[in-house]
Structure 1
């Protein structure tokens, strides 16, 4: 049995140490809109008026530290941008905020920026290429790659 092809992951809810610090990143740098607050312990954020794509809360994590290396947990959350221009805009906002990248890759099927949020959660900002442009092997299967992403070309997009 397989899932319906329209199945999507709807949202991510992150435990954070400091709600205002996380809002400064997800709202003020990345550009998500605040849709609802739950007292002083949680806030929902979205793009385009959806009820929420990201939930942030301090219910069990106020003042906490990130998990140490070598432990289980979230590797990264991936945020899909609709166009290359939108991904370039995100890179410009990160640069204006002097926010460091931990990586940037061209995977053939997508272009991706990698960074950490204020709580050390991995964040991938990416855009997919049209499926007709995805690299394929001789049998027609996907042939993803990891190549250096030209950041200056992305900023010019």
Structure 2
């Protein structure tokens, strides 16, 4: 599925979380999730796999617990190379008594759900081959069917879990926003198209015909406000643009729409109408 997370598409690359207990959070993402510590200094820890950064943990000054019912992270989703690795990961979680909050067969993917120690949502999934996805015009058909835990665990039985495998990536971001149409108007200027909807409460958007690179929902309430900058949870996430021309075009589109946007040292800093902060870099 590399064709959905590479040039010339715009896609999520990594994210940063504000954390309160750096030691506990680092231990969870290293031992339970299987990320490598790529760099560690002061109050910042970079994690990933095969030298590729996926997650950064940062402890801001005067950090506070995120207030309820705010915009921000619903979950971030880690995409594994295939369902065999997903089965191996399930077996790892079972063997280490790491609790799950759920699992589902979405018809385009098979997914597990869990929470980190500070209640950030995580999805770990494997895509179904895109040749098997069903479309109704420009809308992909996704469901929420029971996950075949037993079949996945059996498939991964002979594959020892030694950490997140090569090829693991940030598959998608799912965000709480205050207004679906307002959010979509913003992301459309970056280049995303709406590929699925859920009863007026969620939109799924992507580039290049992926089932979704970003999910948007109003499940924390319409009009949900942004959390304070020093609150736990999503600090920012990064989108990859294919080249400088694409980045400049996004910048011009956002400025034309009167959205926050500035370029500094090759990084486009912006935020969506619900206050979710984004960095857009040249991949």
User: Which runs of 5 or more structure 1 residues have no equivalent in the other structure?
Assistant: none
Cα drift, residue 90 of structure 1: 1.5
**1:24 equivalent in structure 2:** 27
Larger radius of gyration: 2
The alignment status of 1:36 with 2:39, answered yes or no, reads: yes
Higher relative contact order (CA 8 A, sep 6+): 2
Q: What CA deviation, in whole Å up to 9, does each residue of 1:11-37 have, x standing for no partner?
A: 010111111111121111111111101
> Could you tell me the TM-score, scaled by structure 2's length?
0.49
Structure 1 residue 68: Cα displacement = 4.2
> For residues 5 and 106 of structure 1, what CA distance do their matches in structure 2 show?
29
User: CA deviation digits over 1:18-70, x for unaligned, max 9?
Assistant: 1111112111111111110122x1100111111x11001112465x43x3432
In the TM superposition, structure 1's runs of 4+ consecutive aligned residues that sit over 4 Å from their partners are none
* The one of 12, 27, 49 aligned to 1:47: 49
Give the Cα–Cα distance (whole angstroms) in 1 for the partners of residues 90 and 142 of structure 2. 23
| TM-score normalized with structure 1 length | 0.86
CA–CA separation in structure 2 for the residues paired with 1:87 and 1:144? 19
The equivalences for 1:128-147 within 5 A come to 128-137=127-136, 139=137, 141-147=139-145
Relative to its length, the structure with more strand (as a share) is: 2
1:16/1:61 contact within 8 Å kept: no
Measured on the aligned residues, the alpha-carbon RMSD in Å equals 1.8
2: CA distance between counterparts of 1:53 and 1:105?
23
- Aligned equivalents of 2:82, 2:148: Cα separation in 1: 16
Tell me the number of residue pairs that the alignment of Structure 1 and Structure 2 aligns.
Answer: 149
Counterpart-to-counterpart distance in 2, 1:150 and 1:69 = 33
User: 2:55, 2:80 → 1: CA distance?
Assistant: 15
Q: Secondary structure at the match of 2:140?
A: coil
Q: Within 1, Cα distance between the matches of 2:26 and 2:60?
A: 15
